[in-house]
Amino acid sequence: MPSPTMRAACLPAPAPIETAPLVIGDRPTPAPGPGEVRIRVQACGVCHTDLHIAEGDLPPHRSPVIPGHQIVGLVDALGTGVDAALAGARVGVTWLAWADGDCPACRRGDENLCERVQFTGYDVDGGFAEFALARAAFVVPVPVRFGPDEAAPLLCGGAIGYRALQVAGVQPGEWLGLFGFGASAHLALQVARHRGCQVAVVTRGAAHRALAEDLGAHWVGEPGATPPRPLDRAIVFAPSGQVVQDALRAVRPGGTVAINAIAMDALPAMPYATIYGERVLRSVTNLTRADAREFLATAAEIPVRVEVEMFPLEGANDALQRLKARTLRAAAVLHLT
């Protein structure tokens, strides 16, 4: 039996990450309710969304809250009504904690747009802790090919990057632009290359440009540089409205730009000619369980190379500070066991 208390990084209230708002300490070890599993956390990825929650860019839904929504671990306790086969299983938990299954969006198959949706590490406590609860119906299997630290970034950055490829309508052999490069983009690039796409990467960091080249980008450049030919599709990972305008200018008539950001600054006023020519601008909102399962299977098949930098639980504030400062090479992961 686990201890009645566990170590966790808890956010009492949003504050600038430079002030280290996450408090590391003991919290009650949770017990699973009906339909829930308890997970002994092995690793939890650190995401830009965690930073937005910590700093209040996203309005608080629960205070205090334990952030973290890229959880990999072992099921160590079952609530009533849960299939006994899950006991001891290695599972992953994503940003999507729960959807009602009955609202118009869910009935359309758009559970990511559920009217009553709940998110891990935002509406319910997440994985910056030794234990976490999750709805059994919303956990996903983790391919054995990946260790816990490798698998954690796949559950949000990877899966939502995969959804962004779908939303942008990327077809095999097309030219794809990635604007901004980090935890999500370095995985999306590998899926696109697996589909035979030529990938152009625009990012400010020299280390990120080097990583993009290492992973097979056809062209890399700094912001303001022009890809060698008009792009068929583009995905914006940087939380910058100006970058959206740059991406629209880079795509051909009839091309699509997908914005893969949960929060960003204002879109600038722009000439109609920037979007004229039947260019399409779309946002990417959350993910579905199907996105996560499909991406994990694809990631194992390729297999994708996951670039991670590991931190102890006590380093949660440091990881988020490094994320904000853009000094991470790719993905940050809290290693718990």
Q: What is the pLDDT of residue 262?
A: 87
pLDDT score recorded for residue 237:
95
- Which residue pairs, CB below 8 angstroms and at least 24 apart, start in 82-89? 82/32, 82/35, 82/36, 82/37, 82/136, 83/136, 86/37, 86/136, 86/139, 89/141
CA–CA separation, 202 and 213 (whole Å): 11
Answer yes or no: pTM beyond 0.85.
Answer: yes
SS3 call for 280: strand
Q: What is the mean pLDDT of residues 70-84?
A: 97
pLDDT of residue 99: 98
Supply the mean pLDDT for the chain.
96
Instruction: Give the per-residue pLDDT at 264.
Output: 87
Report residue 329's pLDDT band, with 50, 70 and 90 as the boundaries. Answer: confident
The whole-number average pLDDT for the span 293-314 is: 96
Could you tell me which of 313, 58, 82, 321 has the C-alpha nearest to residue 333? 313
Mean pLDDT, range 181-194, rounded to an integer: 94
| Cα torsion angle, 15, 20, 26, 31, sign | positive
Cα–Cα distance list, 283 to 75, 106, 158, 258 (Å): 34, 18, 17, 5
Residue 337 binned pLDDT confidence (cut-offs 50, 70, 90):
confident
**What are the structural domains, with CATH classification, of the chain?**
5-155+287-335 (3.90.180.10), 158-283 (3.40.50.720)
Contact 118, 109 (CB under 8 A): no
What DSSP element (H or E) covers 130? none
The string of pLDDT tens digits covering residues 231-260 is 999 999 998 999 999 999 999 999 999 999
Q: Give pLDDT, residue 279.
A: 98
How far apart, in whole angstroms, are the C-alpha atoms of residue 96 and residue 144?
A: 22
